[in-house]
């Protein structure tokens, strides 16, 4: 087992990574929530049906609250439904919410915990690769609106995260791709110090890949928890996400199936093309981006989206101000670039679709 600490003063917590660490759930609840008399276990229909879920035990009386599987579950109405269910079960502010699932469940349950009784503690058993390497760590919780991804949410840190890598054996190929898109992001974040750093992450065993990604995120979150550090803080974790969120929002509107990690892979290559168009990086650096994405078996091509529609969603993205803003690579590494001209944004989209 590997433990990575997220150091945030009295809100610090550990992320445990390895085979079988989900068995530590009762101990985690007992140590972090000594006054809890009840737990609310939130999961989705897919995870609930898996054989191992019957063994989930927070060590205190609990109710299971199921939400639909998939991104469409991340709605304000489902937050209300969860909070009402918490109230009916008698959950108090001293009790605990336990998220058992992937990124959608951790985002949804974490946000419900953040607003129930104005803040009820929670912890996460992360069951997907995406959740383990990214979504469960850092305290960003929230839901989507028809106008865009993650537009309603709160910063609410978990009391602990358990990343049991044995649970990943049940994942579909699409879910593996979803997580690998985020690992590709972390490999490119690491590669700012040289392309070899990306290879180290890509070549590592799975447990170490998860631990390396969590460690990178933990360092960034510790330095800039609430994304107030300007263009060089936590916002850098959104690398590739401006287009990715636009692709996901457009897919949700039309009923298409685009997974987060798949969209991030496209967004990473797009960010490189946009940075090259702005004279920030050269062809070799674009090639590094393509190599990392291809190494994880991911596509760098969007399919069937209108550029004007994507532009609208990118302008609404949560990291934007009143202009088009992107995290872009450059001579000094990644930074937030504001006021990118619309013509360059559209030109890079056209280049992405054609190359």
**Which residues are identified as catalytic?**
118, 140, 182, 217, 227, 234, 238, 241, 245, 260
CB distance 53 to 46 below 8 Å: no
Give the span between the Cα atoms of 209 and 70, in whole angstroms.
25
Give the span between the Cα atoms of 54 and 51, in whole angstroms.
6
The two tokens of residue 234 are 């936590």
DSSP string, 84-126: HHHHHTT--TTSEEEEEESHHHHHHHHHHHHHGGG--EEEEEE
Nearest C-alpha neighbor of 98 from the set 167, 9, 33, 171? 33
Nearest C-alpha neighbor of 11 from the set 221, 163, 211? 221
Residues 177, 180, 185: CA angle, nearest 5 degrees: 135
CB distance 25 to 125 below 8 Å: yes
Name the phi and psi angles at 275, rounded to 5. Answer: -65, -40
Phi-psi region of 110 (alpha: psi -120 to 50; beta: other; left: phi over 0): alpha
């Amino acid at each position: 087992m590997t433990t990575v600490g997220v150091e945030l003063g009295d809100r610090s917590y550990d992320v445990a990574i390895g085979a079988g660490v989900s068995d530590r759930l009762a101990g985690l609840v007992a140590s972090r929530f000594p006054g809890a008399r009840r737990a609310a276990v939130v999961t989705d229909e897919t995870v609930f049906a898996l054989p191992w879920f019957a063994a989930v035990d927070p060590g205190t009386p609990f109710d299971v609250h199921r939400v639909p599987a998939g991104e469409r579950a991340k709605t304000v109405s489902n937050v209300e439904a969860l909070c009402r269910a918490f109230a009916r079960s008698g959950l108090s502010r001293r009790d605990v919410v336990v998220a058992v699932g992937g990124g959608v469940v951790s985002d949804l349950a974490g946000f419900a915990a953040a607003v129930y009784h104005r803040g009820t503690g929670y912890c996460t058993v992360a069951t997907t690769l995406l959740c383990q390497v990214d979504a469960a760590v850092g305290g960003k919780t929230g839901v989507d609106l028809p106008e865009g991804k993650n537009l309603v949410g709160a910063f609410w840190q978990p009391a602990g995260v358990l990343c049991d890598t044995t649970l990943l054996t049940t994942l579909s190929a699409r879910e593996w791709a979803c997580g690998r898109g985020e690992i590709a992001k972390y490999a490119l974040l690491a590669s700012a110090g040289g392309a070899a750093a990306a290879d180290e992450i890509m070549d590592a065993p799975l447990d170490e890949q998860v631990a390396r990604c969590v460690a990178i995120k933990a360092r960034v979150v510790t330095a800039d928890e609430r994304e107030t550090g300007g263009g060089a803080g936590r916002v850098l974790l959104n690398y590739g996400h401006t287009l990715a969120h636009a692709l996901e929002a457009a897919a949700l509107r039309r009923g298409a199936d685009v997974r987060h990690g798949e969209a991030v892979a496209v967004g990473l290559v797009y960010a490189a093309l946009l940075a090259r168009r702005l004279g920030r990086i050269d062809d070799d650096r674009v090639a590094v981006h393509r190599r990392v994405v291809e190494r994880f078996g991911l596509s760098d091509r969007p399919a069937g989206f209108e550029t004007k529609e994507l532009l609208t969603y990118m302008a609404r993205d949560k990291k934007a101000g009143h202009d088009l803003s992107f995290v872009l690579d450059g001579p000094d590494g990644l930074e937030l670039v504001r006021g990118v001209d619309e013509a360059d944004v559209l030109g890079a989209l056209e280049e992405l679709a054609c190359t």
